Structure 1
Amino acid sequence: MLRAGDSLRFTPDEIEDFRKLGLDFDGARTWGDVEQALARWTDTLNDERPDLLERIAVEMAKARGVPLPARLTRVR
């Protein structure tokens, strides 16, 4: 990714790598565009694979050392 001020540019290889994960950053030029792409991706995951989205959230929380939000707290 190349950054110049508020502008972003992804290389074709980066775009292809993100597509493999289901993210479409083609045409993303600002952080707002990236946030929109991520929001669409999480909405799709929530609809299609909520279990996978929860696992991602758990791992992100562990990596940052923060507790999960109340609605995502696991109950065994």
Structure 2
Amino acid sequence: MVLVKFSRGGVDALTANEILGLEKKLTQRLSREYNSRRKRLTTSVLKEQKWTQVANDQSAWAFERARAAALFLEAAMDTGS
């Protein structure tokens, strides 16, 4: 859906600033609902991003631990034979 505004010169597309400023013109009830949904979605996105970062960190830690174990076993095999 394309939002348009009417001006004396004709019909123009809304600018990004005008679209972002629409919540100021909404009724108080709609503004509360908008802000509530926006906060909830932002929180869920940030939470997912946090879990992704934790998983990446743990994967890197597990990789380094496995690498160290492999080097230890390789060294043990070299000295044992």
Instruction: Please report the TM-score for the alignment, with normalisation by the length of structure 2.
Output: 0.33
Structure with the higher helix share, 1 or 2: 2
* Structure ID, larger Rg: 2
Pick 1 or 2: higher relative contact order, CA cutoff 8 A, min separation 6: 1
